[in-house]
Amino acid sequence: GQQVMQIPQYQHVQEGEDFTTYCNSSTTLSNIQWYKQRPGGHPVFLIQLVKSGEVKKQKRLTFQFGEAKKNSSLHITATQTTDVGTYFCAGRSQAGTALIFGKGTTLSVSS
Amino acid sequence: DTAVSQTPKYLVTQMGNDKSIKCEQNLGHDTMYWYKQDSKKFLKIMFSYNNKELIINETVPNRFSPKSPDKAHLNLHINSLELGDSAVYFCASSHRTGVTGELFFGEGSRLTVL
């Protein structure tokens, strides 16, 4: 079945450093979504990418969708303590199928 | 008003008991889901309903039985609870399945089986 792999599992950075998490799918995806889950909280939608090679930015966050639509990345520039949490990618292989989540990357930031 | 609400937030129970978790969404969405998040934070889809009809049923033990009385509600009943059922259960909803709808999650129900 479809699998979505995400690395690294954990990342610790100093405040102000950059952070990147990578997501790879075993199958071509129709779209990919990113979620953030704060400690003790629930996943919250960040963004969706649909087109091959798409790049979207949200302030210090940059999201990319690979040309083959099988991989994606989230890059945070100059991390802040408010960026702490677990970042999940999630993708569907085709419309009508389940949204499959990667295992997440847990980011910790020290000031 | 909370968009997706789950009750109870916490459940502590003994092995072998039966328990239910309720979920309601006031977003007007027609698709609802149950996800299980284990201690390693892995989010796994369990069920999905579209307009009260079951459309996704992953390999979940038949001790788990979802019920959707209407498209705004999706409940989860678990029979004969086992230690491995301990997890956080998230309800979620989206506007349309089959289209790239974002998921809105409830705050989760933490189940502890002793």
Mark residue B80 as left, alpha or beta (left: phi above 0; alpha: psi -120 to 50; beta: remaining). Answer: left
Angle CA(B71)–CA(B77)–CA(B78) in degrees, nearest 5?
Answer: 150
B83 pLDDT more than 70 = yes
- For residue B112, the SS3 value is strand
Locate the chain B residue with the closest alpha carbon to A87. B41
Angle CA(A39)–CA(A4)–CA(B32) in degrees, nearest 5?
Answer: 65
Determine the CATH number of domain A4-110.
2.60.40.10
A97 pLDDT more than 90 = no
* A86, A99, A108: best to mutate for the B interface, most B CBs within 10 A: A99
Asked if the C-beta of A33 comes within 8 angstroms of chain B's C-beta atoms, the answer is: yes
B27 pLDDT more than 80 = yes
Asked if the C-beta of A29 comes within 8 angstroms of chain B's C-beta atoms, the answer is: no
The region of weakest confidence among A30-39, B40-49, B50-59 is B50-59
pLDDT, tens digit (0-9, with 9 covering 90-100), for A28-66: 999 999 999 999 999 999 999 999 999 999 999 999 999
Per-domain boundaries in chain B: 4-113
Tell me the two tokens of residue A101. 């989540």
Burial class (CB in 10 A: 0-12, 13-18, 19+), B29: buried
A17 backbone dihedrals φ, ψ, rounded to 5°: -80, 160
- For residue B25, the SS3 value is strand
Q: CA–CA separation, A25 vs A6, rounded Å? A: 9
Listed in order, strand segments (DSSP E) in chain B are 4-7, 10-13, 19-25, 31-37, 43-50, 53-57, 64-70, 73-78, 87-94, 104-105, 109-113
In this complex, do B97 and A103 lie within 8 Å of one another by their Cβ atoms? no
* A3, A5, A42: best to mutate for the B interface, most B CBs within 10 A: A42
Superfamily of domain B4-113: Immunoglobulins (2.60.40.10)
To the nearest whole Å, the CA of B16 is away from the closest chain A CA by 27
